[in-house]
């Protein structure tokens, strides 16, 4: 765990990069004194409600369809504990550690607004999970947008279930004990605070934003290599032409492509060899740029949700003058739509990449040896790598179907419209992984195509990218086990710092 970076929740909004720094980079998370004041004010309102006996949903009533059942005394603490235990019923393979950490970070940020009413010790317990490296094992399936994932996190605070700790899966009770921590004793509303809201989809989406941002930069680099290998007509990327359709993302992709291909003798020697290129070659600014614009929109939606209040009920005012308001802020429609939109956009990035790489191996259109191998026939070359990319594109088409449109009824008609935002975010993670592999295959094939053109100088950026791959993958002179080559290319794409180190001017 990194001890060098610190993220402090105070009075300014956090960005997705902050969540990623905690979840993926191991940055320590802290709350400013002003934040603790907000949290404790809301908890004081809860205590006032408990003492007065005034009915307030989730504070002294049952949950969901049981909202009219009044509770009191020891029942309130028992309700919170029972809420976590009964809601921790997810199924399937566990989330990764970084996914669970992102969710915890988003949950703490939600409580920091001071509208939840959660006890201080609950927030302190969640901070301890993050900062001590105790990560609950959270089944990935079972959320309609909220509830199950956070419940599995919550039970770890009670010493229930298993956690990832120091590289091993151990009982939560053991990890807490080794860190000198005691199980949290829950009070009124704590259970409901821990399971409702949108931190699950928001946290997961922050990780997706990081990966999508990185992949869109790599997509420009790799597509420039494919463009060059197929001797594309550079007029399609002319700055004056691109400016006539002023989508912001399209302008940036045009800038990137021109910079990457600058100084290319291959492109200069290819001027006029055809009237125009196939659309997958000449429409890179339009397609990649559109994905960048959707990313910008999704970022705004996800960061707004991340910094908003997603509790029900909300506690407003002070203990002496308060309101308890039941509403629907745990409904995550904005994030669900944003994640679905990004899944479509990134599936399209994979789709156009597959079309480009297919042209690289096809001698009828590439002008290169069949399947990019010197002796086709006895060698199959890169033939089947394109099959893999096609398969991944087909799967992405399935994953890009909107989750938000899948609506079901839960809790005895009480919760009869659901966002399915967590499913949307998890689907997006799947699309991004597939897109990474597709781009890795295109990278491998474009670099192999360069082997047949290296008597001429490549673009300043594409040459760097080619040499970077060659540090890890040798040219493909004859058939060999190809899967490790794809894996090596994918590892380059997954390195968060490598791209900026070799091409620092790329955006």
Q: Which residues are catalytic?
A: 57
> Residue 45, preceding bond cis, omega within 30 degrees?
no
Give the C-alpha distances (Å, rounded to integers) separating 320 from 44, 118, 290, 387.
10, 18, 51, 67
Q: Environment class of residue 53 by beta-carbon count within 10 Å: exposed (0-12), middle (13-18) or buried (19+)? A: exposed
Q: What are the φ/ψ torsions at residue 506 (nearest 5 degrees)?
A: -80, 140
Residue with tokens 């809420």: 83
Strand blocks (E) in 128-257: 134-136, 139-141, 162-165, 168-171
Find, among 75, 434, 424, 439, the residue nearest to 284 by Cα.
439
CA distance 253 to 236: 12
Strand ordering across the sheet containing 134-136: 134-136, 162-165, 168-171
- Is 20 strand, coil or helix? helix
State the number of CA atoms in the 13 A half-sphere of 370 facing the CB.
Answer: 7
The H-or-E segment that residue 318 falls in is strand 314-318
Which residues, 6 or more positions from 2, have their beta carbon under 8 angstroms from its beta carbon? 25, 26, 27, 28
CA distance 69 to 57: 9
Find, among 200, 279, 292, the residue nearest to 253 by Cα.
292
State the number of CA atoms in the 13 A half-sphere of 372 facing the CB.
Answer: 28
Q: What tokens does 369 get? A: 């040896």
Residue with tokens 């992984």: 433
Find, among 225, 229, 221, the residue nearest to 498 by Cα.
221
Which residues face 163 on adjacent strands? Answer: 136, 170
Q: What tokens does 155 get? A: 């039970």
Q: Sign of dihedral through CA atoms 224, 227, 231, 237?
A: negative
Which residues, 6 or more positions from 32, have their beta carbon under 8 angstroms from its beta carbon? 8, 9, 10, 11
CA distance 414 to 416: 6
CA distance 193 to 190: 5
Give the C-alpha distances (Å, rounded to integers) separating 390 from 7, 102, 237, 354.
41, 32, 27, 7
Residue with tokens 């004194």: 33
The DSSP call for residue 70 is B
């Amino acid at each position: 765990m990194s001890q060098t970076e610190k993220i402090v929740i105070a009075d300014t909004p956090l960005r997705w990069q902050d969540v990623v720094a905690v979840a993926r980079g191991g940055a320590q998370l802290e709350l400013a004194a002003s934040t603790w004041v907000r949290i404790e004010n809301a908890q004081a309102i809860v205590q006032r409600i408990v003492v007065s006996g005034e009915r307030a949903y989730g504070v002294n009533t049952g949950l969901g369809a049981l909202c009219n059942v009044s509770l009191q005394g020891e029942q309130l603490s028992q309700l919170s504990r029972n809420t976590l235990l009964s809601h921790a019923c997810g199924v399937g393979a566990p989330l990764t550690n970084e996914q669970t950490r992102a969710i915890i970070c988003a949950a703490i940020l939600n409580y920091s607004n001071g509208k939840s009413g959660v006890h201080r010790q609950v927030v302190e317990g969640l901070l301890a999970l993050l900062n001590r490296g105790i990560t609950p094992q959270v089944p990935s399936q079972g959320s309609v947008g909220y509830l199950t994932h956070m419940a599995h996190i919550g039970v770890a605070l009670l010493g229930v279930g298993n956690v990832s700790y120091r590289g091993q899966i151990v009982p939560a009770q053991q990890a807490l004990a080794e860190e000198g921590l005691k199980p949290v004793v829950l009070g009124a509303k704590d259970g409901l605070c821990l399971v409702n809201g949108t931190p699950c989809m928001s946290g997961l989406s922050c990780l997706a934003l990081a990966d999508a941002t990185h992949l869109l930069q790599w997509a420009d680099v790799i597509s420039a290599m494919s463009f060059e290998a197929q001797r594309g007509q550079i007029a399609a990327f002319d700055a004056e032409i691109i400016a006539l359709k002023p989508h912001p993302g399209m302008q940036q992709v045009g800038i990137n492509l021109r910079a990457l291909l600058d100084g290319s003798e291959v492109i200069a020697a290819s001027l006029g060899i055809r009237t125009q290129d196939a659309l997958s070659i000449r429409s890179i600014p339009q397609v990649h740029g559109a994905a960048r614009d959707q990313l910008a929109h999704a970022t705004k939606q996800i960061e707004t949700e991340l910094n908003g209040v997603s509790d029900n009920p909300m506690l407003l005012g002070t203990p002496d003058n308060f309101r308890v308001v039941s509403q629907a802020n745990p409904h995550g429609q904005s994030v669900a739509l944003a994640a679905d939109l990004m899944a479509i956009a990134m599936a399209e990035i994979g789709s156009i990449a597959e079309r480009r790489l297919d042209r690289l191996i096809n001698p009828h259109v590439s002008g290169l040896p069949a399947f990019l191998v010197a002796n086709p026939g006895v060698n199959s070359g890169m033939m089947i790598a394109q099959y893999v990319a096609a398969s991944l594109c087909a799967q992405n088409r399935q994953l890009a179907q909107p989750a938000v449109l899948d609506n079901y009824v839960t809790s005895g008609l009480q919760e009869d419209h659901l966002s399915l935002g967590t499913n949307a975010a998890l689907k997006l993670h799947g699309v991004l992984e597939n897109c990474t592999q597709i781009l890795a295959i295109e990278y491998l094939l474009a670099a192999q195509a360069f082997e047949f053109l290296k008597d001429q100088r490549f673009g300043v950026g594409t040459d760097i990218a080619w040499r970077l791959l060659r540090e890890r993958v040798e040219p493909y002179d004859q058939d060999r086990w190809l899967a490790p080559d794809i894996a090596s290319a994918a590892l380059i794409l997954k390195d968060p710092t490598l791209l900026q180190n070799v091409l620092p001017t790329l955006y």
